[in-house]
Structure 1
Amino acid sequence: MALRLVQVNFKARDDEALGRFWAEALGWGVSSEGPGVTNVEPVGFDWPDPTAVCVDVVATPDPEKVRYRAHLDLATTSAAHQAELVARLKELGAKPADVGQGDVPWAVMADPEGNVFCVLEPREVYRDTGPIAAVVVHCADPRAMARFWGEAVDWTVHEVGDDYARLRSAKGVGPYLEFLRETPGAKTVWTRVHLDVLPCPGDDQAAEVARLRALGATPADVGQGDVPWIVLADPEGNEFCVLAPR
């Protein structure tokens, strides 16, 4: 049994507007599965596919109350590409953001609803990830998070240390899932982005939830009510959703 990381979920005041921003930012298309939900994924994409972790933007009455520790890192292929992408994102409504990063080669930005993300300088490790280089989760213990998520999803641990851990789909495609240790006393950057996972074909949602709980996940109540997905929190309290098989 295993789960697939299939999308990141953004809570938003205006799902359509934020969905359009991220579609333009990533060069992807938009669709909708119903009112208040905007799906952002590559054009012609047959969801789910490990070549991409998609973006779901969901309208929420009070998104300011949502506090997560995940963000996106965007990939670039050259210094010129990085500069062009930053300029284009500003035209789309993004703004530079200061999270105490100092003098670094990547650009820290905030989307039109204030979610912080990074536009990375060219890095060889991300040359084949697609527009999203990595989904990054800030945490206290990257080693422990790598153990949990390495067991939770069908991804391979590529690198693990006291300050940093990196996983990627076992198929060797798509973006990375990275865990970055928070520096004590540093400014905590909250976003409205969390992870959604999906059981593999033939696997049972309830059995997967039981397996996750045995690994250290706990039930979480974010006001979801009666919905077909199940909300859990990982061992550091980061909430995520186990979607129902389709």
Structure 2
Amino acid sequence: MALRPVQVNIKALDASAVGRFWAEALGWSAYSPGVTTYVGPGGGLVWPDPVAVCVDVVPVPGPKTATKNRVHLDLATTSAAHQAEVVAHVKALGATPAHVGQGEVPWTVLADPEGNEFCVLEPREIYRDTGPIARVVVDCADPRAMARFWGEAMDWALHEVTDAHAVLRSVKGVGPYLEFLRTPDVKTVPDRVHLDLLPYPGDDKAAEVARLRALGATDLDLGQGDVPWTCLADPEGHEFCVLASH
């Protein structure tokens, strides 16, 4: 039994507008299957996508209040010229420069129209085959502990673990990486961006949730009420949801 990350959940005041931004930024399509705006590869809505970790933008009544999100996306580029093109493109879509203490770095830190940070990376060979999202980055205090929890929670393979970061990727060697990056930041408000996980067909969602609790996950009440998904937090308090197959 194991779970797979299927989407990055982003809360937004204007889910349609933020969804359109991410669709244009990633070169994907925006779909509106319900109250959320789902962003995934073009050609028609496929859920879950067999390769990509997609984006689901969910409407909420309040704006971002954290100084910096604890989860963000890094976008891949193939050359210095491509990086410059992507930066210019997303700025034209409404992205703005963001300052999170990065100093002089070869990547560009930006924020989407509602202030959610993301990076446009300089070209790196490791991200040549990831698609537009190179990696999902999660700030944490203890990458080794996060590697233990998430390595057991998901069916992804652990590529590297140090005191500074831990890196996982699908065992199929496709799609983006998931990186837990050591930072001094601490959680002060509910996460604006989080991962949604999905059981495989035939696996029992309740059994998966029980397994996660045994690994150290805790139940999370965000006022979600009676919903088909289960809200949890990992051992460092990062929120995530286990979705129901449908």
Task: Give the TM-score normalised by the residue count of structure 1.
Answer: 0.95
What is the alpha-carbon distance in structure 2 between the residues aligned to residue 83 and residue 154 of structure 1? Answer: 35
- How far the C-alpha of 1:182 sits from its partner, in A, is 0.5
Deviation at 1:156, TM superposition (A): 0.2
CA distance in 2, matches of 1:191, 1:106: 24
Matched residue count? 244
Q: Which residue of 2 aligns with 1:98?
A: 99
TM-score normalised to the size of structure 2? 0.95
What is aligned with 1:146?
A: 147
Alpha-carbon spacing, 1:50–1:160, altered in 2? closer, same or farther (3 Å):
farther
- What fraction of aligned residue pairs are identical, expressed as a percent? 73
What is the rounded CA distance, in whole Å, between the counterparts of 1:93 and 1:189 in structure 2? 25
Task: Give the C-alpha shift of residue 184 in structure 1.
Answer: 7.0
Partner of 2:42: 43
Q: Which amino acid is 1:242 matched to?
A: V
- Contact between 2:65 and 2:189, CA under 8 Å: does it hold in 1? no
Which amino acid in the other structure matches residue 26 of structure 1? L
1:49 Cα deviation (Å)? 3.2
1:201-216 counterparts in 2 under 5 A? 201-216=201-216
RMSD over aligned CA atoms reads 2.0
Counterpart position of 1:81: 82
Corresponding letter in the other structure for 1:78: S
Structure 1 spans left out of the alignment, 5+ residues: none
Match runs of 1:101-180 below 5 Å: 101-180=102-181
Structure 1 pair 193–175 and aligned structure 2 pair: CA distance change class (3 A): same
Show structure 1 runs of 4+ deviating over 2 A. 44-47, 63-68, 188-191
1:65 positional shift: 5.3
What CA distance in whole angstroms lies between the structure 1 residues aligned with 2:190 and 2:127? 25
Moved more, 73-82 or 41-50: 41-50
Q: Which shifted more, 99-108 or 219-228?
A: 219-228
Q: CA deviation at 1:46?
A: 3.0
**C-alpha distance in structure 1 between counterparts of 2:219 and 2:191, whole Å:** 21
- TM superposition shift of 1:88: 0.7
Paired with 2:190 and 2:202, the residues of 1 have a C-alpha distance of 36
